[in-house]
C-alpha cells in the first residue's frame, strides 16, 4: 500500500491547491473509498459460495483493485489536515481541529481492532465485514456528494482569507511547476527541513515499530493477541495525548510555545521507550534488566504512544507556521511523505531483527530531539493573523461606518467553525 501511497501524494497536494480543492479532495476520497469497498465485495456477489473452486481465482484481482484504490485514498486523508483546520477554524482552534483530523482515521482503525473479531469469528464470516465497510463507505459518499461546501461563509482568520481570496488561486498557477517550486522552497528552509525530517523519522519509525510488537515481544513469551492489545493501548493513548496537548497549545499562553511542548513530549517519549527497552531483550544484553510483566509492557507502550501522539498535531501546525504563506497542504504533504518513506525502509529492515528494531527506535528518538532543539521556530501565520486583527480593530475605531477599508469583510474569527 505504501508503494501506491507515495506517488499519489504529490497529485493530492496539487489538487488541494486548485480553487475549491478541499471539496474536490473530499469528494474524490469518498467516491474512491466507496469503489474500493465495492470492489472487495463483488466476488461474493458474483459467486455466492466461498467454497466454490473458482472463488479465489475471481476474488484475487478484485481484492487487489480494492486495496490499490484504498491505498490511493491515503494521501487524500492525511495531506489536507492542516489546510482543513486553517480554512474552517479560528487561530485559537486550529491545533485541536488538526488533531481531530489526524486522529479520526487512527481512531477508526483502533476501534476496528476491537470490533472486527466479533464480526468475523470464522473465515467464512469475512464477507460480513466487507459489507459493513461498503455500507459505511456508501453513507460517507452520499453525505459528501449531498453537502460539502468548498469554504466557510466567512473566513475565520487572515490565513483562511488568503486561501479563499488569493488572486493567484487559479488553475493556471497551481501546477507541477508551482508545486516543485514550493517544494524547493521548503527544502531550502533549514527550520522546515530539520523539523519535517524529525517528524517523518519519528512517526514513520514509530508506526512501523508498534506494528511489530508481536515480533519484538515474542522472545518475552507474549502472544500475538497480547501484542495486539499493547498496540491498541498505545494508539488510544496517542489520541488522548494529542487531544490534551492540542487544547493546551490553543490557549493564549502556549500559542507561541510549540517548540517547548514538542520537546517535552519527545523527551517523555524517549524515557518511555527506554523503560520498554529495559523490559525486553536488546542488542547489548540477553536478559531484560527490569521486570517484564504485562503491566510494565502495557504502561511503557501506552506512555510512548501518549507522548508521541501528543506532539504529532503540533508538528503539522509548526511546519505550517514556518512556511506561511505557502499552502498548509505543502508542508503536510512533505511530512507525510517522510513518514511513509521511513516506514517503508523500516519494514525492510525489520524482519527477524527485533533487537535491531528496538535499538533503531531509540537512536531515531534521540536524533529527533536533537533536530528539534536546533530548529528555529517562527510563527508567521499566527503573527499575521494577529496583525490583521489589530489592524481591523483600529480601522473600526477610526472609521466605524466603513469597516472594510483595509480588511475584507469576509474575515470573521468568531462567526464560524468554532468549538466554543
At 392-408, the pLDDT tens digits run 777 778 876 654 544 44
Angle at 93 between CA 301 and CA 210, to 5 degrees: 15
For the chain, helix, strand, coil in percent to 5 are 75, 0, 25
At 57-92, the pLDDT tens digits run 777 888 888 888 888 888 888 888 888 898 899 888
Using the structure block, give the residue that is written with the C-alpha cell 466603513. Answer: 402
For the cut 50, the answer to whether the pLDDT of residue 168 exceeds it is: no
**Residue 380: HSE in the Cβ half-sphere, 13 Å Cα cutoff:** 13
Residues of the chain with pLDDT > 90, as a percent, come to 31
- pLDDT greater at residue 238 or residue 48: 238
Give the three-class secondary structure for 353: coil
Task: Please state the separation of Cα 175 from the chain's center in Å.
Answer: 24
pLDDT at 55: 64
CB 110 within 8 A of CB 236: yes
210-216, Cβ contacts within 8 angstroms, sequence gap of 24 or more: 210/234, 210/235, 210/301, 210/305, 212/350, 212/354, 212/357, 213/301, 215/350, 215/352, 215/354, 215/357, 216/280, 216/354, 216/357, 216/358
At 185-218, the pLDDT tens digits run 999 999 999 999 999 999 988 888 888 888 888 8
pLDDT at 169: 47
Torsion angles phi and psi, residue 217, rounded to 5: -95, -5
Fold of 2-157+176-380: Growth Hormone; Chain: A; (1.20.1250)
CB 187 within 8 A of CB 193: yes
At 333-354, the pLDDT tens digits run 899 889 888 888 887 776 667 7
Write down the pTM of the prediction: 0.85
Supply the DSSP symbol for 219. G
At 109-153, the pLDDT tens digits run 888 777 777 787 776 777 788 888 899 999 999 999 998 888 888
Average pLDDT, the chain: 83
pLDDT at 172: 47
Torsion angles phi and psi, residue 262, rounded to 5: -65, -45
Cis? peptide before 297, omega within 30° of 0: no
pLDDT at 366: 95
Residues 6+ apart with CB under 8 A from 141: 30, 31, 33, 34
Amino acid at each position: 500500500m505504501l508503494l501506491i501511497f507515495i506517488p499519489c501524494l504529490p497529485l493530492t497536494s496539487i489538487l488541494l491547491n486548485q480553487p475549491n480543492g478541499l471539496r474536490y479532495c473530499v469528494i474524490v476520497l469518498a467516491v474512491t473509498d466507496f469503489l474500493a469497498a465495492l470492489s472487495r465485495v463483488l466476488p461474493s456477489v458474483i459467486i455466492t459460495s466461498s467454497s466454490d473452486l473458482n472463488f479465489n481465482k475471481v476474488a484475487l484481482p478484485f481484492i487487489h483493485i480494492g486495496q490499490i484504490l484504498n491505498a490511493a485514498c491515503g494521501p487524500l486523508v492525511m495531506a489536507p489536515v492542516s489546510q482543513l483546520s486553517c480554512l474552517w477554524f479560528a487561530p485559537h482552534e486550529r491545533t485541536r481541529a488538526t488533531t481531530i483530523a489526524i486522529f479520526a482515521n487512527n481512531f477508526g482503525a483502533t476501534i476496528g481492532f476491537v470490533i472486527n473479531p466479533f464480526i468475523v469469528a470464522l473465515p467464512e464470516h469475512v464477507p460480513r465485514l466487507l459489507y459493513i465497510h461498503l455500507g459505511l463507505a456508501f453513507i460517507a459518499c452520499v453525505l459528501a456528494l449531498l453537502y460539502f461546501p468548498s469554504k466557510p461563509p466567512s473566513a475565520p482568520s487572515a490565513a483562511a482569507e488568503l486561501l479563499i481570496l488569493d488572486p493567484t488561486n487559479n488553475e493556471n498557477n497551481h501546477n507541477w511547476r508551482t508545486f516543485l517550486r514550493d517544494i524547493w522552497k521548503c527544502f531550502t528552509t533549514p527550520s522546515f527541513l530539520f523539523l519535517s525530517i524529525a517528524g517523518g523519522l519519528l512517526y514513520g519509525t514509530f508506526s512501523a515499530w508498534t506494528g511489530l510488537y508481536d515480533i519484538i515481544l515474542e522472545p518475552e513469551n507474549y502472544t500475538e493477541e497480547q501484542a495486539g492489545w499493547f498496540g491498541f493501548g498505545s494508539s488510544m493513548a496517542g489520541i488522548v495525548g494529542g487531544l490534551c496537548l492540542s487544547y493546551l497549545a490553543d490557549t493564549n499562553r502556549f500559542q507561541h510555545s510549540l517548540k517547548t511542548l514538542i520537546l517535552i513530549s519527545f523527551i517523555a517519549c524517549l524515557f518511555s521507550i527506554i523503560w520498554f527497552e529495559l523490559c525486553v531483550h536488546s542488542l547489548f544484553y540477553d536478559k531484560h534488566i527490569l521486570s517484564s510483566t504485562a503491566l510494565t509492557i502495557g504502561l511503557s507502550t501506552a506512555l510512548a504512544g501518549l507522548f508521541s501522539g501528543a506532539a504529532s498535531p503540533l508538528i503539522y501546525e509548526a511546519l505550517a507556521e514556518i512556511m506561511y504563506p505557502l499552502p498548509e497542504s505543502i508542508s503536510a504533504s512533505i511530512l507525510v511523505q517522510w513518514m511513509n518513506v521511513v516506514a517503508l525502509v523500516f519494514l525492510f529492515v525489520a524482519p527477524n531483527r527485533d533487537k535491531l528494531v528496538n535499538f533503531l527506535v531509540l537512536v531515531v528518538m534521540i536524533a529527533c530531539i536533537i533536530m528539534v532543539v536546533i530548529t528555529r521556530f517562527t510563527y508567521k501565520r499566527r503573527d499575521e493573523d494577529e496583525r490583521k486583527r489589530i489592524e481591523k480593530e483600529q480601522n473600526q475605531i477610526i472609521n466605524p461606518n466603513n469597516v472594510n477599508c483595509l480588511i475584507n469583510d469576509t474575515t470573521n474569527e468568531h462567526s464560524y467553525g468554532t468549538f466554543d
